[in-house]
Amino acid sequence: MDLAKVLEQLRRELDHLNAAIVSLERLQSREVRRGRPPRALLDLRRLKAAADADPSPQPRRTQRRDGDS
C-alpha cells in the first residue's frame, strides 16, 4: 500500500466533501438570489403548477399517418 496514493485520494475526497458542504450551505441560506432562477427550478415550478391546475391526465394524441388528412 502506497501511502502517497492514499493521501492523494483522501485529499481528493476532502475537496469533494468541502464542495458538497458549501453547496448545502448555500441551499440552506435564506438569501434572495437576484437574476433568473436555474432552468431546473423553472421546470419544477411549471410541472407543479400544471399538476395543481389540472390533476386529470391529458388524452393521448394520435399521430397522423402518411396520406391521412
Beta strands in 1-69 (DSSP E): none
Q: Residue 54: phi, psi to the nearest 5?
A: -140, 95
Q: CA 32, CA 30: separation in Å to the nearest integer?
A: 6
Instruction: Cell 402518411: give the residue.
Output: 66
pTM, two decimals, is 0.41
Please tell me whether residue 29 adopts helix, strand or coil conformation. coil
Burial class of residue 59, CB neighbours in 10 A (0-12, 13-18, 19+): exposed
Per-position pLDDT tens, the chain of length 69: 799 999 999 999 999 999 999 988 888 887 776 777 678 877 888 888 887 776 565 667 777 777 655
